[in-house]
Copies of this chain bind each other. A is one copy, B any other.
Amino acid sequence: MLPMEEKLDPRVKRTRNLILQSFSDLLAEKSFDSITVLDVTERAQINRATFYKNHFVDKYALLDYWVQQGFRHEIEAHMLDACHYTPDNLRILLLTVCEFLSKVRTDCMQSQRQFEPMIEKQVKNQIYELLNIWLGKMNSSISTEIPATVAAWAIYGLASHYSHAKKRPALESFVEEALPLVAVNLEQFA
Contacts and interface: CB of A to CB of B under 8 A. Distances in A.
Interface of A: 10, 13-14, 45-47
Contacts of A46: 10
A14 B14 CA distance: 10
How many monomers of this chain does the complex have?
A: 2
Contact of A10 (B10, B13, B14, B47): B47
Which 6 A/B pairs are nearest by Cβ-Cβ distance? A10-B45, A14-B45, A10-B46, A10-B47, A14-B14, A13-B45
6 contacts: A10-B45, A10-B46, A10-B47, A13-B45, A14-B14, A14-B45
A47 B9 CA distance: 11
A54 to B, nearest CB: 14
A150 B46 CA distance: 44
A10 B15 CA distance: 12
Contacts of A45: 10, 13-14
Nearest to A13: B45
A13 B47 CA distance: 14
A6 B47 CA distance: 17
Contacts of A10: 45-47
A10 B10 CA distance: 17
Contacts of A47: 10
Nearest to A45: B10
A82 to B, nearest CB: 23
